Chain A
């Protein structure tokens, strides 16, 4: 086919531009939160002493750090799907790790050395490792599906950020169930579970986000 013919043909398809990328990604957010909520309430549910725990700073910090991770990953995603776009939001991804790092230092100061190991191991770290990816799987699928409308020049990176976003949402819900509130525990076990989703997102992104 001649290029001029291709141009004429493409011009005839001018009308089918469809919704904006921002609208597509925003449209995936609510279903992702709903999917996470359904799995959370069906499989885990909130811990029995949720109301009492809600007054303790360590418990609240879990929601802050996971919420910040989800929000910053969501802010980073659009530019990764736009060719040639400068991504000014990327440094914000360091915010959640910085918050948890400060909290870990505070925990070192607040807790006697004898209790460190117990706080770090926690009571249900295997449940944590399984639950966060379980809750995050639905959101990851929804965000990757939305990202397929984009044009990432680094499909693996875009997939990894979608995985961080899904991991942040999964951890946000799981935090309401989990009775281990120490930053030691959160930094380690939440961190591993979220990283696993980010790696899964990168591997899937490499395959699914090609265009």
Chain B
């Protein structure tokens, strides 16, 4: 995966909001690499796990993507979300930590790859309602499509989409409250 620039990311996100799944995956991969580099640098002194920050940020970006103005730069928006999620994670872990505003300028860092496997989001799936859990697990853990999931669970595709979206929102809400 190569790193996309500001304009290219904005194009990808515009296409994503119009429903283009490929563009959206490409956008999220690029953003994940940038946020990972940003979070690792901020986490150098310990505290929350950088990959958890990456995942929480991706989830927040997903659920709040309508808060991006389609004519605005996309990276300040992405890093404002990442910074907010990082402060939230520090607060949860009981640490008081200044997150340097300079971190915003570090958006051109090289992508880094992830390592760990057991994640807060994975644990949060366990707390969903049975129907949401079945749908979210099928799509996110087993990698099935919406259509395959609908067939396997004997649901309509529309119902799968709704349960999936609500499940993601419920996972995100768990972080805010814990």
Residues on A facing B (Cβ under 8 Å): 1-21, 81-85, 149-151, 153, 210-211
Q: How far is the CB of B89 from chain A (nearest CB, A)?
A: 13
Closest to A3 in B: B114
Q: Can you sample 20 A-B contacts with CB below 8 Å?
A: A1-B122, A2-B117, A5-B140, A8-B140, A9-B140, A9-B164, A12-B145, A13-B161, A14-B16, A83-B67, A84-B77, A84-B78, A84-B81, A150-B64, A151-B60, A151-B81, A153-B80, A153-B84, A211-B63, A211-B64
Question: In the complex the two chains form, what is the Cα distance from A151 to B146 in whole Å?
Answer: 28
Question: In the complex the two chains form, what is the Cα distance from A3 to B141 in whole Å?
Answer: 11
Residues on B facing A (Cβ under 8 Å): 16-17, 19-22, 24-25, 28-29, 32, 51, 54-55, 58-60, 62-69, 72, 76-81, 83-84, 114, 117, 119, 121-122, 125, 136, 139-141, 143, 145-146, 161, 164-165, 168, 172, 176-177
B121 and A6 contact, CB distance less than 8 A: yes
B58 and A7 contact, CB distance less than 8 A: yes
Closest to A81 in B: B67
CB neighbours (8 Å) of B168 from chain A are 9-10, 13
Question: In the complex the two chains form, what is the Cα distance from A86 to B60 in whole Å?
Answer: 20
Q: Which of A1, A2, A9 gathers the greatest number of chain B CB atoms within 10 Å? A: A9
B176 and A210 contact, CB distance less than 8 A: yes
B21 and A6 contact, CB distance less than 8 A: no
> Quick one: which of B17, B51, B117, B139 contacts A17, CB cutoff 8 A?
B17
Question: In the complex the two chains form, what is the Cα distance from A21 to B60 in whole Å?
Answer: 15
Q: Which of A1, A13, A20 gathers the greatest number of chain B CB atoms within 10 Å? A: A1
Q: How far is the CB of A44 from chain B (nearest CB, A)?
A: 37
**Beyond the given A9-B164, A151-B84, A211-B63, could you list 18 further A-B residue pairs with CB under 8 A, ordered by the A residue number?**
A1-B119, A2-B117, A3-B32, A7-B25, A7-B29, A7-B32, A11-B16, A13-B62, A14-B16, A14-B20, A16-B161, A21-B66, A83-B64, A83-B80, A84-B80, A84-B81, A149-B67, A150-B64
CB neighbours (8 Å) of A18 from chain B are 66
B81 and A5 contact, CB distance less than 8 A: no
Question: In the complex the two chains form, what is the Cα distance from A18 to B65 in whole Å?
Answer: 9
Given A14-B19, A82-B77, A153-B80, decide whether A6 and B58 contact each other with a Cβ distance below 8 A: yes
A85 and B145 contact, CB distance less than 8 A: no
CB neighbours (8 Å) of A2 from chain B are 114, 117, 119
Question: In the complex the two chains form, what is the Cα distance from A73 to B33 in whole Å?
Answer: 37
Q: How far is the CB of B49 from chain A (nearest CB, A)?
A: 12
A3 and B164 contact, CB distance less than 8 A: no
A8 and B64 contact, CB distance less than 8 A: no
Q: How far is the CB of B50 from chain A (nearest CB, A)?
A: 11
Question: In the complex the two chains form, what is the Cα distance from A2 to B63 in whole Å?
Answer: 19
A10 and B66 contact, CB distance less than 8 A: no
- A-B pairs with the 5 shortest C-beta distances? A84-B80, A9-B140, A83-B80, A84-B76, A11-B25
Q: How far is the CB of A22 from chain B (nearest CB, A)?
A: 8
Given A83-B80, A85-B69, decide whether A10 and B62 contact each other with a Cβ distance below 8 A: yes
B17 and A83 contact, CB distance less than 8 A: no
Given A11-B21, A210-B176, decide whether A6 and B67 contact each other with a Cβ distance below 8 A: no
A3 and B55 contact, CB distance less than 8 A: yes
A1 and B16 contact, CB distance less than 8 A: no
> Quick one: which of A8, A17, A81 contacts B25, CB cutoff 8 A?
A8
Closest to B83 in A: A153
Question: In the complex the two chains form, what is the Cα distance from A3 to B69 in whole Å?
Answer: 26
